[in-house]
Chain A
């Protein structure tokens, strides 16, 4: 089925459009809006963005594959990014990742069997002074210890239903409604 933005998100897009000199400049903002709704960048999303911005699907796909935040396959209902770069590793990021792998029963890059969590590693998330840290959906959790992880995962499960009910995907980047 063809992808369409909800009227509310379409309005955000239409508000942005005249503020840029070209339509194409909206590629990343529009992909974020679509992913926020759909949870990932499906082939239908690529078609939609290409049509809206009057560029080829190849151009859109080129952008999607270049940037880490665009999910090219379906993710779990919650996405965890553990920062693995130097300051975080120095302060115990590996311990956090291993603890999560054990708790979730999946490796980095995988989604739990129940589809609840996708576990990923991120490159430097600009929180080096609060290492180790992770990003859970769009929230930062800093100065972590492995002991905090259970509470974090539990909180995510609780929040998930509310999010989905409100029309958001777990990977929402620009959840304006929540600001």
Chain B
């Protein structure tokens, strides 16, 4: 099947100097803002709700519903904090929006701010993404000069500032409460919830935290209408609407970011979009949506005989033939996450994969909660032992135990995000760990 490209979110990616405002406007940019201002805040919120945008950052919470949780506090302003701290291993989609179409992001922020009566938007961008930061700052300056933000928005008495705030290298700051602490100038340690950010967020004020792609989608929702936008998805009936960016990396012929309707399958993503596996080798495993999501394998079949089961239509088919949606992937025992897959061919050592990932989490744990701080380092040390061939069979049990004792015992989801892929790899590829013990060595390289 040919890869279907809706060409909505990425329509400007091929335009020469697409990041400049005159080129964005030539492509119809900022027309959605004009339309939105005519519609008024309530209608905008209705359209966003009808669009069924499941948050594009990883958790997949419906954006329109999140907006409705906002509790304005008469003594405080209300803020939007844009999460552009893209750092989940395997994920590289938001960066393309910021670098290639920053004005789409800014237009989305302005519409969201108008809809939620917000006068300051903070866009928290990874400090490493220097080009993205420069392009967004330039876009803010250009939009201000055009009167799209500032003292008024297109002449309306609505004051708006957008501040591009750089991070400084911490994966944890993609967690929303950690992001807020970091924005306030603190160490990026997550907060206990409740209170949720929509009630007490940045600087003690009600705050909506949305992923960057989520907000960059809003101009298209206004352009097409919420319901029409939602129906572009193959999973509209599951309230998982629209089109979104997919990433694919690892052992494929054409890695990259692709736009597609919500609900294409992993097989489509890998073969129709990314051209298949390098050297036409077999797929061993796939990390479906960022490193925290448990791996899937092509040989595993969907077991959903019950007609009421959400996965029943794919009963007996490969996991790679299930449409990628927030609820479908969860039903499969993994997560859609950031919708950016890492593909590993049959030359890959899963012991080495586990070692790589656990070193990541050991480095990125913020250190606040003991199970995560100690557990992630412990898992990394154990994986190193397996990779070095010095592990024992007992270490396999310890590894399993440590992972299980992190799950659910920490303030934020980083610990779970480390334990879940570890447990997933142990469940599906235990034999590789056992072989490393038996043979006293693991493959030297992660893959051929």
Contacts and interface: CB of A to CB of B under 8 A. Distances in A.
B86 interface: yes
Contacts of A91: 249-251
B195 to A, nearest CB: 18
Contacts of A125: 128
A85 B185 contact: no
Contacts of B256: 129
Interface string B176-196: 000000111111100000000
Interface residues of A, number: 50
B167 interface: yes
A107 to B, nearest CB: 16
A173 B127 contact: yes
B126 A123 contact: no
B131 A140 contact: yes
A101 interface: no
B447 A129 contact: no
Interface string A101-133: 000000000000000000000111111111100
A70 to B, nearest CB: 6
Nearest to B126: A126
Contacts of B247: 128-129
Interface stretch (A1-9, A25-33, A147-155, A158-166): A25-33
B219 interface: no
A29 B185 CA distance: 9
Contact of A25 (B134, B185, B348, B352): B185
A90 B251 contact: yes
Contacts of A22: 184-185, 203
Interface string B138-171: 1000000000000000000000010101111111
A86 B168 contact: no
B353 interface: yes
B130 A123 contact: no
B87 A126 contact: yes
Contacts of B356: 84-86, 89
Nearest to A31: B168
Interface string B339-359: 010101000100011001101
B86 A126 contact: yes
Contacts of A128: 89-92, 247, 249-250, 255, 340, 342
Contacts of B171: 123-124
Contact of A67 (B161, B167, B183): B167
A123 B168 contact: no
Nearest to B251: A90
Interface residues of B, number: 65
A154 to B, nearest CB: 22
A55 B348 CA distance: 50
B90 A87 contact: yes
Contacts of A19: 120, 161, 163
A113 B436 CA distance: 39
Interface in A130-179: 130-131, 135, 138-140, 173-176, 179
Interface string B343-382: 0100010001100110110011010000000000000000
Contacts of B291: 85-86, 124
A132 B291 CA distance: 17
A94 B137 contact: no
A31 B127 CA distance: 12
Nearest to A130: B255
A164 to B, nearest CB: 18
B187 A63 contact: yes
B283 to A, nearest CB: 13
Contacts of B77: 21
Given A86-B89, A123-B360, A129 B249 contact: yes
A24 B185 contact: yes
Contacts of B352: 89
A135 B138 CA distance: 22
B88 A90 contact: no
B129 interface: yes
A33 B88 CA distance: 26
Given A32-B127, A124-B360, A68 B251 contact: no
Contact of B128 (A31, A135, A179): A135
Interface string A31-75: 110000000000000000000010100000011001111100000
A140 B131 CA distance: 9
Contacts of B87: 123-124, 126
B73 to A, nearest CB: 13
A126 B92 contact: yes
B165 A68 contact: no
Nearest to A49: B185
B248 interface: yes
A69 B255 contact: no
Contacts of A176: 134, 137
B42 to A, nearest CB: 27
Given A27-B185, A68-B170, A131-B250, 12 more contacts: A24-B185, A25-B185, A32-B168, A66-B170, A67-B167, A67-B169, A122-B128, A126-B87, A129-B92, A135-B128, A140-B131, A174-B166
24 contacts: A20-B163, A21-B77, A24-B184, A27-B185, A32-B127, A55-B185, A66-B188, A67-B167, A70-B168, A85-B360, A87-B342, A123-B89, A124-B88, A124-B171, A124-B360, A127-B92, A128-B247, A128-B250, A128-B255, A128-B342, A129-B247, A131-B249, A173-B127, A173-B166
